[in-house]
Structure 1
Amino acid sequence: MEEQRAEQLCIICGDEKQEGLRIIDGFICETCELEMVRTEVQDAKYPFFIHQLKRIWIQKNA
C-alpha cells in the first residue's frame, strides 16, 4: 500500500505541497529546492532565499 503524504506549507513560496525537504520545523517544496540549488550567489533572488531560510532558525530559537 502506498502512503499518502499530507500537504505542507513551503517556507519559500508559501504553497502547500506534498513533496519536498524538511529542515527542523520548516518545509521547502521540491520546486523551490531545485530553484535554490541552481541559483548563483550573484542572482537577485539569492538574498530572498537566505532570508526565508533564516526563518527556520528564528522560529526554532523563539
Structure 2
Amino acid sequence: MLDTMTHNCIICGQTKEYGIIIISEFICEDCEHEMVQTDVMDAKYSFFIHQMKQILYKKDA
C-alpha cells in the first residue's frame, strides 16, 4: 500500500497530493495550470505574483 503525501498549496491554500515544489513551497497542479494560462493583463495575474512572492520572503526569513 502506497502512502500518499499531501501539501498545502501556497496559492489556493487547499491540501492536495499533486503539484510542484519551488524551494520549499508547494503549488498544486490546478494552480500551476491556471497560472501558466493566465494572461499578464488579467487581474488574477497580480494575485499569483503576490502569492509567489511569499516563497522569496520565507526563504529570506
Q: Do Structure 1 and Structure 2 share a fold, with TM-score over 0.5? A: yes
Given the alignment of the two structures, is residue 57 of structure 1 paired with residue 23 of structure 2, yes or no?
no
> Which blocks of at least 5 consecutive residues in structure 1 are unaligned?
none
Letter matched to residue 25 of structure 2 = G
Q: In 1, Cα distance between the equivalents of 2:37 and 2:24?
A: 23
How many equivalent pairs are there?
61
**Displacement, 1:40?**
0.3
Question: Which residue in 1 is equivalent to 2:15?
Answer: 16
Q: Residue in 1 aligned with 2:27?
A: 28
TM-score, length basis structure 2: 0.94
**TM-score, normalization: structure 1?**
0.92
Report the identity percentage: 56
Quote the Cα distance in structure 2 between the aligned partners of 1:59 and 1:25. 9
